[in-house]
Amino acid sequence: MTLHRPFAFFLAAFSLSAVLAAPAAAAQAPAKPDSLSSPRFDVLKASVPIKVDGVLDEECWAAATAIPLPFEWQPGDNIPSPVKTECLVTYDLRNLYIAFRCFDPEPKKIRGHLMDRDDTDTLILDDHVSFMIDSFNDERRAFQFRVNPMGVQADANFSESEGYEDFSWDAIWNAAAKITDWGWAVEVAIPLSQLRFHASEGPQTWGFSAERSWPRDTRHRMTSHPRSRNVNCILCQFNKLTGFEGITPGRNIEIDPTFTASRTDAMDMAGFPDGPLARGKIDAQPGVTAKWGITPNLILNAAANPDFSQVEADVAQLQINRRFALYYPEKRPFFLEGADLFLTPVQAVFTRTVADPLWGTKLTGKTGRTAMGFFADQDEITNLVFPANQGSAQASLGQDAYGGVFRLRQDVGKMSTLGVLYTGRAGKDYYNHLAGADGFFRLDRKNSITFQLLHSETDYPEPVATDYGQRQGSFGGNAVFFEFLHASRSWIIQTRYEDLTPGFRADSGFVPRVDTRTGSAALFRQIWGKQKSWFNYIRLGAAAEFVYDHAGTLTDRNLILVLLGQGDLETQLNVQGIFSRTFYSGQFFDTAYGMADFHIRPFSGSQFGFQSLAGQGIDYAGSRLAHVFSVGPNASLSLFRHLNTVLSHTFERLSLGGDTIYTVNLSQAKLVWNFSVRSFVRAIVQYQDLEQNPAMYALAVDTKTRNVFTQLLFSYKLNPRTVLFLGYSDNGTGGVFDSRFGPGRIGITRTDRTFFLKIGYAWQI
């Protein structure tokens, strides 16, 4: 198949533009961009501590700063809000207090469900409020907090220059909500130790935004300030809050001891399917992670035998007929402190390369206009990706590797940055070092330029270089990235150039393809609906991409035509036509195929959708042109208050003439019963059924392969780091085998099982 590179290119353009624009059904002409201004507010100190219970009955709230939410920015374009919302702000020397009164003409229609913390895919289906705090008032980075009517919490980091919203960041804070006969209320206390800001005796000014999401026939999003679709930045449009005299983050010391224990019973596959599961040893691992606020803005994390366990199973992905390594996101808490600082256009830092560390240390923060980050670790496993133009390979060395990353970023002007980056990993007869510079320049509120220059030096062990066709001895490589982006109300224009030489390696990052010179451009026209229009928003456009290797061969040429529309019930339809020429295995393949992505949210707690693809593709195993068809329905349902379900299925078929090469079905189901905002039990099932036609392959393949993964987890979270997890998982396989286990039909047989326990405690000093 040839969809992956051009589709990823389009998504990069679309995801960036999606931050800048939202569907509209404007009831009035939008205000001129230059006339938009955000109200400013003075914040007064609370006279007594506030009890966080969702009932705003303390006298402090009567004296708190009241911030209305008069603007609807989605789907309306800064039109009057359809419902009244009031945000209240105050503070004392320990906490920042935020409250909302969300008035509703029909309180029985309020949507609120229990769910896991940070389950934002489910949370956005509910009524909820959110607020963002730019505590340095530099319009570059903000903390985000969300709460629904059941008191479910979500929090995130937001970085303006990268357009990066990371909900895997966690703070420890309190929230409570209560549904009433007039609507619902929420009360929040955020310890100042969980935020970063300049320490000063006098008043401070922070950027601030309050928002309410009110989903009914459509999702109305209302804010405390106007949001211009003609401005390519979010934080620059915030309200400003002045006050906060005498506050400090305190000592900001947190010690998180953990204990994990697991046992894996596995079958010797030489005896499959009749062999028993051999009882494994119990692996008990005590560990500790400590966090110290050296200054109000500089945080040191250190871990001995750190707990880098992951209790959420990765979403399964199809691997058949794919040329390049698959990407799985980072979910481990240690790496998420200040993670946005390590983001660069070329993904030179990808912390999942750290697999099984003995220790780790990390320093992140900002002093004045300078932000810096550093982490180091000793990893007992050295995972490697060997990239090339035509595909990538992976290997794992059974040896320790010492790794480190250093990042420095300097604010330039009002909204621009310059940075330097170093990454390194070294082990026996192996090293990879990478260094370079990058920058983000906002020319004005519509136009920006991003660039990055990198150089790497690498040396693999001789047996590894021989086995994987890599260069012997030390070798180097370079990476160059340049992008111009124009984003306004009516137009999005993007041009990009990237050059990755054959010898470039980013072993601490994720760069699965090199030996490329890539030029691309995208042009999108945005059309906004008016009141009572049949559509809210339409985007039309095209993107083109040309990829050459360093020998001058055109290896990829892609043209993508795009139609995206949005309407009521949060309906969205994204249709693409993709026309490609791909050089593979010494020959050119011309392909054309269409893609469609649809979703709708018809009632409370629901989302339904599908993804589909049909047309010409490449059979990489046979180096030939084929026909590909895939379809993937999905659904998310929050039933009653307690039950959340996420269901998805992918069917894919590759065929030649009237003969099928393979068909594959991948099904995933996640069911969560939430006892409260703190505890749940979750079941995950992943099932894959792959059928291959041996007559269509040059080498022997299995006729039918079935794989099943199941996971059961009980979770109790007092806060993100005071937790109890009890889990079980297993894997099974079966099918009709012609190659791996000799000919014959085998039912699905369990090949391993794991029992898991984790206890963690957050001790704050």
pLDDT at residue 225 in the model:
96
Query: Which candidate, 9, 7, 20, places its Cα nearest to that of 488?
Result: 20
Q: Are residues 212 and 340 in the same domain?
A: no
Q: Examine residue 236 and state whether it is found in any structural domain, yes or no.
A: yes
Q: Are residues 321 and 454 in the same domain?
A: yes
On the question of a cis peptide bond just before residue 387, with omega within 30 degrees of 0, the verdict is no
Q: Are residues 374 and 480 in the same domain?
A: yes
pLDDT at residue 336 in the model:
63
Q: Examine residue 1 and state whether it is found in any structural domain, yes or no.
A: no
pLDDT at residue 640 in the model:
85
Element at 13 (helix H, strand E): helix 4-20
Domain end call among 493, 514, 535: 514
Domain end call among 514, 548, 579: 514
Instruction: Please identify which residue in the block is written with the tokens 């009831």.
Output: 27
Q: Are residues 192 and 308 in the same domain?
A: no
Q: What is the CATH number of the domain that holds 102?
A: 2.60.40.1190
Q: Examine residue 571 and state whether it is found in any structural domain, yes or no.
A: no
Q: Examine residue 432 and state whether it is found in any structural domain, yes or no.
A: yes
pLDDT at residue 1 in the model:
38
Q: Are residues 96 and 186 in the same domain?
A: yes
Q: Which residues of 614-646 are buried (b: 16+ CB within 10 A; e: fewer)?
A: ebbbbbbbbeebbbbbbebebebbbeeebbbbb
Q: Which residues contact 149 (CB under 8 A, 6 or more apart)?
A: 110, 111, 112, 126, 127, 128, 177, 179, 184, 186
Domain end call among 243, 273, 289: 243
Q: Examine residue 278 and state whether it is found in any structural domain, yes or no.
A: no
Q: Examine residue 752 and state whether it is found in any structural domain, yes or no.
A: no
Check the CA dihedral 731-734-740-741 and report its sign.
positive
The total number of residues shown for the chain amounts to 765
Q: Are residues 82 and 172 in the same domain?
A: yes
Residues β-bridged to residue 364: 299, 373
**Contact call for residues 456 and 434 (beta carbons, < 8 A):** yes
Q: Are residues 208 and 307 in the same domain?
A: no
Read off the tokens for 441. Answer: 């320049």
Q: Please report, for residues 149, 243, 252, 370, 685, the alpha-carbon distance to residue 298 in angstroms, rounded to integers and kept in the order given.
A: 35, 23, 10, 11, 42
pLDDT at residue 367 in the model:
79
Chunked mean pLDDT (size 10), the chain, 765 residues: 39 37 35 63 91 92 95 90 96 94 96 92 94 92 95 91 78 95 96 84 93 92 93 90 87 86 90 88 89 79 70 66 68 66 88 79 84 87 88 84 93 90 93 96 91 97 91 95 94 96 94 95 92 83 97 96 91 95 93 95 91 94 94 92 94 94 95 95 95 90 92 93 93 82 80 94 86
pLDDT at residue 639 in the model:
82
Query: Which candidate, 659, 629, 633, places its Cα nearest to that of 646?
Result: 633
Q: Examine residue 135 and state whether it is found in any structural domain, yes or no.
A: yes
pLDDT at residue 365 in the model:
81
Q: Are residues 222 and 78 in the same domain?
A: yes
φ, ψ of residue 571 in degrees (nearest 5):
-75, 135
Q: Are residues 217 and 364 in the same domain?
A: no
pLDDT at residue 27 in the model:
32
Q: Are residues 235 and 348 in the same domain?
A: no
pLDDT at residue 18 in the model:
38
Structurally, how many domains does the chain consist of? 2
Using CA atoms, how far apart are residues 631 and 429, in angstroms rounded to an integer?
Answer: 46
Using CA atoms, how far apart are residues 214 and 220, in angstroms rounded to an integer?
Answer: 5
Q: Examine residue 404 and state whether it is found in any structural domain, yes or no.
A: yes
Q: Are residues 310 and 425 in the same domain?
A: yes
Using CA atoms, how far apart are residues 749 and 764, in angstroms rounded to an integer?
Answer: 47
Domain around 431 = 297-514
Q: DSSP assignment, residue 45?
A: B
Using CA atoms, how far apart are residues 606 and 608, in angstroms rounded to an integer?
Answer: 7
Q: Are residues 108 and 198 in the same domain?
A: yes
